[in-house]
Structure formats: structure tokens, C-alpha cells
């Protein structure tokens, strides 16, 4: 089950009379299109274009009835190409590719032409211009379909195994989920112990269960599954092959270090977060008694139901300074969103230790969303005082001559009055920052957003997939998340991993780069252009030519303009197709 | 001279926009969804990534009588290539060098990053570029 197999690419169209048989359907979209674009004029202008056999207007191209009509026409007229001019391809390209498939028409001979978002809606002030633009756009679509080649999806056999990188709460729970779907799992952890952040903590919100106990329970469940291999002190250092069959190389610390190779179908990255580390002097950080949120959490956990003590002295008052390192223009601009709830929770734990401890929460607006609002209410009912400071006037932390801390803040609710609060402890409510994982990021070519966290393809519709096929991201490496949310995204990655690996084979879009062997001089220019290493060389009858691995190619086309002899083409966007489209935009092209 | 003036007023420059499926094309869609108007003589062709545009396509459009070509590039957001912006800039430079050789004003090619929600910037680019092309006049190459 190793190595991509059965990679197929379509053949060029059969040589016949060279004439295609194309059906063109132009949609009114109720009136969304036809109120501005004269759709009948568009049809009349294009019905005699070379290769056009059917040209019709339709009230709603996407309606069930019209789809059936299209299928009938494709069959009855023996169509080998389809053009639908309606809305954005983001909406219905997949619909009409489906229509093509159901009518046994090659789905890659279908072109979606956008005459709504990019025409009628944008040019309501110019109906004549919109109609002319629609004619040009549809003619370009016909040109693209006329020059299309019948392609078949790439089919690769997949390996039923997943590597999970990062054994925090999300990664561990995901490993168990994967094993239970019947997949082999490699759980790789950089630290000597599994458990991540949760493994360090006592009671965690929302149910007050100890993080350490939850990790212990997960560890036990992992150990009961023989299909999970746990590698600690281990790092993913090498990845080759392609989706469905990645060859992963893991280096395990030791003397000497051990190298382990594993073939896996997919990889889930769950490397978590780092806590923001304040600069020395930032809100008094560095002074005894000024702690970050995780440092404070460990102190509260250490009290173990007894007295809250810092440096041998019982704590009588605490000032929390919110949004340290978060929501800062020029710094971490995002909100870490867990910290307000985590601090309300810590405040409740402190009140439980000793209700007499005075607690002041200096915030910029409390974001205890959803059910966490209940913790915010309880913290206040326990006597905690919440004071909001203005965005542009953060509190200052000073140490008096007696060694006590004092926090001066501006309270917006008392008319911007300045208040100085003496405190035994100052807790800097620090947010999450991305982990320094440059090696892993570079190795997997993971896309990183402006804020330094990993980017999924789509936050709602493809929440754990990345642009690297078969590589998923889960947990707080995607951005700040609570433990609850991290586990949920870990389980989403389990479902996605199972969805792609349990079938045993994967279909990939065949719109990849291709080499015209006759034009390739074997100069090697293209070999270094692909960051995914999809291009290599092969022998073609005694001469060296470039070769594209269809399973590895991402279909960006970035290599295409770099070939000095124009021997590279991107299927679906070939030179012939693009040229036909460009020529269609004017009535009389030069050549 | 009077005729020339009328011709200038009536001149609606034709613009070919290259967009990218995942980033700039959704931004251009959004401009339409919000019914923001830009000249109807600007027409978009989408490709997966702006670094895959052949300079020959740009030249072909200009020789065909398209007055200006606008690359709505991915910028730093490209999901495929971390160096997408510099790659696209290089091929735009290559296209402009060819344009100079062939007597076409290099200002007829413009490039700017258009993000997936950059509806207003896109509309502004189209209006500005169109106005600029009116100044330059119809392509005659």
C-alpha cells in the first residue's frame, strides 16, 4: 500500500472533423441577470459560434427541471461540451459539473461563466455595457470549453494511517478517535511527556475537572489501543511522497537519536500554542509578585484547597490586568478569547480558597462568551470587582518602598477617575501566541496567517483542511481556542482523516501542470520552481525531459511562465484555452 | 480637433483583469454582490494563482486591442506559493519589458493585490485604471 498508483491523465480529444458539440445555457436568474443583461441578445450573438449546437436561455439554470433538460439535451444532441452562464463558479460550478457527470459528459469540458456577480450586479448602471460584456464572457467560456481536453480525476490508493503531531489534549483525543475508526496512528510529541498545557493544570473550566486527571485518563485510553504508537521526545523532520501516501521521518531524542520512518495517508498538526511572554518591565513584569496567567494558575493549583501563598506570604489582594499582549495595535492584534473566561474561573477558585481575598479585574471589556458568562456572573457574585480601562490608557504597575505592588488604572465607569489599587499579586492576563515551529512549518509548507497561526482552507466549510492535501490542522495551532474547542477541532480532523482514508482510494482534481515532451529541452529551469517538488526529470527515448507528478502538483501553474520553451501547461488553463478566452474578449482578434 | 475630443469622451478603455480563484476573484464577486459599479469594459478571467500568468497572454490581449491589463494578484495571502507576490511581480516586469520592445506603453499593465473581501479597493482600481487609460488613449500596437 505504498506509493501513488494508477495515476491517470486524460488523452487529447479524438481527431474527428475537429468540430466540438457544445451546449450553451444562459440564465436569467429570475431577473438578477436579465434585468440588466439582454440574455436573448447574448444567445443570438453566440448561437452560431463554431462548435455551438445548443444555445438557450433559461429562467433558473440551477433548478431541477433545467438540470434534467440539460442532461436530455447533452444526450440527445451528443454534446461534448457544456457552458452555463449564470452566477459565480463558487456557487454552482460543482452543480453543473455534476450535471455533466450524470449525462456522461466529461466534467472538465464544462465551463461556468459568471455573468451575475461579475456582470449584471456590477453594471446595473450600464445595461448595454453589461450585455456586451456578457457576450464577451460567454464567448470566452465557449472558447475555453472548445479547447478543453477530457480529463479524469487522479486516483491514488491510500495508506490507512495518520500521524498526529502534538500530544496535547487535542492531539491525544484525536489519536484515540482515529484508532477507533480503524486507522493506524503515530502520535508524535516533542516534549518528553505527553499532555501539553492541560497536563500541567488542576481544575479547568467549564466542568472543574483537573487537566492532569483528564490527561491521565487519555493516556490510559491511548495505551489500551495497540494501533497507536506514541513517540515522545520526537519531531517530524522529513516528509516526502504525496497525499494518501506520505513518507514521514521522525527523529526521536536519545543517545544516539533514533530515526523512525512511517508511511501515513494523512497528517494532523496539533502543536498548540505558547503563552504570551511579556517583555521585562511590561506592566511590571519581572517584579516579584507580577505573574502571567499560566504562572498564576499553577500557583492557585498548588494551593490545593489550602491557603494561597506567594513567596511564603499569604495573598490578601490580587489585581488582574487583562489583554496583556492581546488586542495591541502593532503587536498581537487578535483577541485570545479564552483568557477572560480562564481568569473568571481562576477568580472563582481563589474565592473558594478564601472569600476574603480582594480581587480586581482591570479589563478592556469582558468577553466571556456563551456559557462562560455564568462564570463571569459567579466571579462578581463572589465579590470580584471588574473595572474597565480605556484602550489608550493602560494601567501601570509599580512597586512601593515597602515592596508592595500598586496598580494605577483609569476607571471609565467613574468618569475616568484614576484609582490606585494596592495588591499582593498582579496577574497579567496573557493570551496565546503561535508556537515557534519554523522547522515544521517549512517542512510541511503550512500556510501561516498574518497572526502567525496556521490557516485552514475555510473557517466554516473546511475548518481543519489546509491547502496541502491530506495535511490537517487542529487545536490552538489554528488560533486561540479553549480546551473544549481544541478537542472539537481535533475530532473534526479525525472525521476528515477518516473520510479521505477509509475509502482506500482518493480522487484528486486533475487540473495539474503537464509537460509537452516535444517542446521540452530538458534545460532544468523548472526543477527548482516548485516548492512542492512536483517536478523531476525522466528519460524520454534517450533525452532528459521534465516530468510533473500529478499527485504532488497543487495546480497553481506557477511553473508555467518560467519555462523558456513554453513546454509547460496547466490543464484547464492551457495556453490554447487562455488564448481562446483572451481572443474572445474582442470582436476581431489579431491572429 | 473637435472630432478627436468627441472620440476621447466616447473612448471606453477595455481592461482585461486576471484574477485568482481563491483570493481576488471572490473579492471581485463581492464588488458585484454589493452592487458597486465599475466600468463594464473591464472583464475578468480567473486563474488558480497569479504567478501562473504567461507574459505572452498579456501581450496578446494588448495586440488584440485590449487597452490595459490588470493583474489582481494574491499578494502575501497566496495559499500555493509563499513567494507568489515576487513571482507575479517578476512576470509583470518581463511583460513590461516585452511591451517596451514592442512600443506599448508599460503603464498599460498594472498589478495590485486584491484580497477576498477587497470589493471597494477593486472598484477603485478599475475606475482609476480606466481613467488613466483614457489619458493614455486607445492601444494601437
- For every residue of chain B, which 3-state class applies, written as one string? CHHHHHHHHHCCCCEEEEEECCCHHHHHHHHHHCCCCCCCCEEEEEECCHHHCCHHHHHHHHHHCCCEEEEEECHHHCCCCCCHHHHHHHHHHHHHHHHHHCCCCHHHEEEEECCCCCHHHHHHHHHHHHHHHHHHCCCCC
What pLDDT shows up at residue A183? 98
pLDDT of A157 over the 70 cut: yes
Give the position of cell 485604471: B129
Q: Which of A133, A457, A557 sits opposite B48 (nearest CB)?
A: A557
Residue A278 has pLDDT above 70, yes or no: yes
pLDDT at B15 over 90: yes
Is residue A109 packed enough to be buried (19+ CB in 10 Å), middle (13-18) or exposed (0-12)? buried
Average of per-residue pLDDT across B103-112: 97
Residues A280 and A265 occupy one common structural domain: no
> Residue ranges of the domains in chain B?
16-136
Q: Are residues A126 and A247 in the same domain?
A: no
Picking from B29, B52, B64, the nearest residue to A557 by CB comes out as B52
Distance in angstroms (rounded) separating the CA atoms of residues A541 and A545: 10
Choice between A495 and B78, residue whose per-residue pLDDT is larger: A495
Q: Among A71-85, A327-341, A488-502, which stretch is predicted with the lowest mean pLDDT?
A: A327-341
Same structural domain, A172 and A264: yes
Contact: B64, A88; criterion CB under 8 Å: no
pLDDT on residue B9: 54
Q: Which of A36-40, A552-556, B41-45, B105-109 has the lowest mean pLDDT?
A: A552-556
- Whether residue A580 lies inside any domain: the answer is no
Q: How far apart are CA A194 and CA A508, in angstroms?
A: 35
A-to-B residue pairs, Cβ atoms closer than 8 angstroms: 136
pLDDT value at residue B141? 52
A539: exposed, middle or buried (C-beta count within 10 Å: 0-12, 13-18, 19+)? exposed
The residue of A442, A451, A582 whose CB has the most chain B CBs within 10 angstroms, and thus the best one to mutate to test that interface, is A582
Per the CB < 8 Å rule, is A557 touching B47? yes
Which three three-digit cell numbers place residue A278?
511579556
Mean pLDDT of all residues in A469-483: 96
CATH code where residue A366 lies: 3.50.50.60
Q: How many domains does chain A have?
A: 4
Q: Is the separation of the CB atoms in A39 and A57 below 8 Å?
A: yes
- Are residues A289 and A381 both part of a single domain? yes
CB < 8 Å to A582, chain B: 16, 45, 57, 60-61, 64, 66
| Residue given cell 475555453 in the structure block | A144
Among A62, A122, A74, A123, residue whose Cα is nearest residue A102: A74
Q: Which of A364, A392, A425 is the last residue of a domain?
A: A425
Average model confidence (pLDDT) across chain A:
93
Contact A33, A61 (CB under 8 A): no
pLDDT, residue A4, reads 37
Distance (Å) from the alpha carbon of B105 to chain A's nearest alpha carbon: 19
| A90, A125, A554 ranked by CB distance to B29: nearest | A90
Pick A116's closest partner by Cβ from B32, B39, B61.
B32
Instruction: Identify the domain boundary among A153, A171, A202.
Output: A153
Please name the residue of chain A whose CA is at the shortest distance from the CA of residue B86: A558
Judge if A64 and A184 occupy the same domain: no
Give the pLDDT band of residue A402 (cuts 50, 70, 90): confident
Task: Please give the average per-residue pLDDT across A276-291, as a whole number.
Answer: 96
**Whether the predicted pLDDT of A272 surpasses 90:** yes
Q: Which of residues 38-77 of B touch A (CB under 8 A)?
A: 38-41, 43-49, 51-57, 60-61, 63-66
Q: Tell me, yes or no, whether A149 and A225 share the same domain.
A: no
Cα within 13 Å of Cα(A301), Cβ side? 19
Residues A40 and A121 both lie in one domain: yes
For testing contact with chain B, the best of A142, A143, A558 (most B CBs within 10 A): A558
For B16-136, CATH number?
3.40.50
**pLDDT value of residue A5:** 35
Same domain for A265 and A281?
no
The answer on A216 and A94 residing in a single domain is no
Interface pTM (ipTM) of the complex? 0.94
Residues A359 and A446 in one domain: no
Percent of chain A with pLDDT over 70: 96
On the question of pLDDT at B28 being above 90, the answer is: yes
Claim to verify: residue A221 and residue A310 sit in the same structural domain: no
Structural domain harbouring A287: 275-425
Q: Which of A35-49, A285-299, A369-383, B65-79 is predicted least confidently?
A: B65-79
State mean pLDDT over B7-31: 87
The contacts of residue A277 (CB under 8 Å, 6+ apart) are A292, A430, A433
Domain identity same for A206 and A325: no
Domain-located, residue A1: no
Cell of A535: 517536478
At A10, the pLDDT band (50, 70, 90 cuts) reads very low
Cβ under 8 Å to A: B residues 97-136: none
Contacts of B61 in chain A (CB under 8 A): 582, 585
B41/A560 Cβ within 8 A: no
Judged by a CB distance cut-off of 8 A, whether residue B89 touches chain A is no
Which residue would you say has higher pLDDT here, B10 or A125? A125
Residues of B in contact with A585 (CB under 8 A): 14, 16, 43, 61, 64, 66
The per-residue pLDDT for A16 is 44
Amino acid at each position: 500500500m505504498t506509493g501513488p498508483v494508477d495515476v491517470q491523465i486524460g488523452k487529447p480529444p479524438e481527431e474527428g472533423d475537429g468540430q466540438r458539440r457544445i451546449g450553451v445555457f444562459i440564465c436569467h436568474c429570475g431577473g438578477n441577470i436579465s434585468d440588466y443583461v439582454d440574455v436573448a441578445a447574448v444567445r443570438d450573438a453566440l448561437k452560431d459560434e463554431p462548435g455551438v449546437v445548443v444555445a438557450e436561455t433559461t429562467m433558473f439554470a440551477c433548478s431541477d427541471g433545467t438540470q434534467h433538460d440539460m442532461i436530455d439535451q447533452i444526450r440527445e444532441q451528443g454534446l461534448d461540451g457544456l457552458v452555463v452562464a449564470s452566477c459565480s463558479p463558487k456557487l454552482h460550478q460543482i452543480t453543473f459539473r455534476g450535471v455533466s457527470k450524470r449525462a456522461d459528459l466529461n466534467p472538465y469540458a464544462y465551463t461556468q461563466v459568471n455573468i451575475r456577480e461579475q456582470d449584471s450586479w456590477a453594471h446595473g448602471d450600464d445595461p448595454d455595457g453589461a450585455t456586451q460584456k456578457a457576450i464577451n464572457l460567454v464567448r470566452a467560456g465557449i472558447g475555453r470549453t472548445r479547447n478543453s481536453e477530457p480529463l479524469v480525476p487522479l486516483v491514488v490508493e491510500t495508506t490507512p494511517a495518520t500521524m498526529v503531531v502534538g500530544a496535547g489534549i487535542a492531539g491525544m483525543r484525536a489519536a484515540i478517535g482515529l484508532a477507533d475508526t480503524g486507522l493506524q496512528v503515530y502520535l508524535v510529541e516533542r516534549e518528553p511527556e505527553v499532555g501539553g498545557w492541560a497536563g500541567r493544570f488542576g481544575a479547568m473550566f467549564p466542568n472543574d475537572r483537573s487537566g492532569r486527571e483528564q490527561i491521565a485518563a487519555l493516556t490510559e485510553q491511548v495505551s489500551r489501543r495497540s494501533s497507536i504508537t506514541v513517540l515522545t521526545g520526537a519531531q517530524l523532520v522529513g516528509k516526502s511522497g504525496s497525499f494518501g501516501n506520505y513518507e514521514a521521518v521522525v527523529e526521536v531524542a536519545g543517545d544516539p537519536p533514533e530515526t523512525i520512518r512511517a508511511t501515513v495517508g494523512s497528517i494532523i498538526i496539533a502543536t498548540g500554542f505558547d503563552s504570551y511572554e511579556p517583555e521585562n518591565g511590561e506592566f511590571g513584569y519581572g517584579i516579584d509578585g507580577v505573574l502571567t496567567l499560566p504562572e498564576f494558575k499553577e500557583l492557585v493549583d498548588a494551593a490545593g484547597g489550602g491557603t494561597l501563598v506567594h513567596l511564603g506570604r499569604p495573598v490578601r489582594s490580587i489585581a488582574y490586568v487583562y489583554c496583556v499582549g492581546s488586542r495591541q495595535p502593532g503587536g498581537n492584534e487578535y483577541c485570545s478569547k479564552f483568557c477572560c473566561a480562564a481568569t473568571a474561573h481562576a477568580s472563582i477558585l481563589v474565592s473558594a480558597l478564601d472569600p476574603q481575598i480582594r480581587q480586581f479585574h482591570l479589563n478592556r471589556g469582558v468577553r466571556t462568551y456563551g456559557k462562560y458568562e455564568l462564570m463571569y456572573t459567579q466571579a462578581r457574585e463572589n465579590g470580584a470587582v471588574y473595572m474597565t480601562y480605556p484602550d489608550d490608557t493602560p494601567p501601570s504597575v509599580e512597586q512601593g518602598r515597602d515592596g508592595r505592588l500598586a496598580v494605577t488604572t483609569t476607571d471609565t465607569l467613574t468618569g475616568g477617575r484614576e484609582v490606585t489599587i494596592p495588591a499582593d499579586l498582579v496577574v497579567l492576563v496573557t493570551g496565546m501566541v503561535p508556537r515557534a515551529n519554523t522547522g515544521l512549518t517549512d517542512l510541511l509548507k503550512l500556510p501561516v496567517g498574518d497572526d502567525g497561526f496556521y490557516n485552514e482552507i475555510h473557517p466554516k466549510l473546511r475548518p481543519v483542511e489546509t491547502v496541502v492535501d491530506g495535511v490537517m490542522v487542529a487545536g490552538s495551532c489554528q488560533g486561540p481556542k479553549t480546551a473544549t474547542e481544541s478537542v472539537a477541532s481535533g475530532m473534526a480532523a479525525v472525521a476528515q482523516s477518516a473520510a479521505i482514508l477509509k475509502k482506500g482510494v482518493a480522487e484528486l482534481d486533475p487540473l495539474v501542470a503537464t509537460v509537452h515532451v516535444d517542446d521540452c529541452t530538458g534545460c532544468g529551469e523548472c526543477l527548482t520552481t516548485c516548492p512542492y517538488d512536483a517536478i523531476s526529470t525522466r528519460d524520454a527515448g534517450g533525452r532528459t525531459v521534465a516530468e510533473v507528478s500529478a499527485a504532488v502538483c497543487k495546480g497553481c501553474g506557477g511553473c508555467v511562465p518560467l519555462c523558456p520553451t513554453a513546454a509547460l501547461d496547466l490543464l484547464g488553463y492551457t495556453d490554447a484555452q487562455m488564448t481562446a478566452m483572451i481572443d474572445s474578449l474582442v470582436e476581431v482578434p489579431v491572429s | 480637433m473637435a472630432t478627436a475630443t468627441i472620440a476621447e469622451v466616447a473612448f471606453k478603455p477595455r481592461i482585461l483583469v486576471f484574477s485568482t480563484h481563491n483570493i481576488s476573484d471572490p473579492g471581485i464577486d463581492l464588488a458585484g454582490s454589493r452592487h458597486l459599479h465599475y466600468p463594464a469594459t473591464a472583464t475578468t478571467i480567473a486563474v488558480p494563482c497569479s504567478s501562473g500568468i504567461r507574459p505572452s497572454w498579456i501581450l496578446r490581449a494588448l495586440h488584440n486591442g485590449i487597452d490595459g491589463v490588470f493583474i489582481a494578484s494574491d499578494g502575501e495571502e497566496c495559499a500555493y506559493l509563499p513567494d507568489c507576490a515576487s513571482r507575479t511581480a517578476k512576470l509583470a516586469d518581463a511583460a513590461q519589458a516585452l511591451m517596451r520592445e514592442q512600443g506599448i506603453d508599460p503603464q498599460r499593465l498594472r498589478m495590485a493585490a486584491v484580497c477576498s473581501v477587497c470589493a471597494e479597493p477593486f472598484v477603485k482600481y478599475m475606475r482609476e485604471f480606466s481613467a488613466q487609460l483614457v489619458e493614455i488613449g486607445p492601444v494601437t500596437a
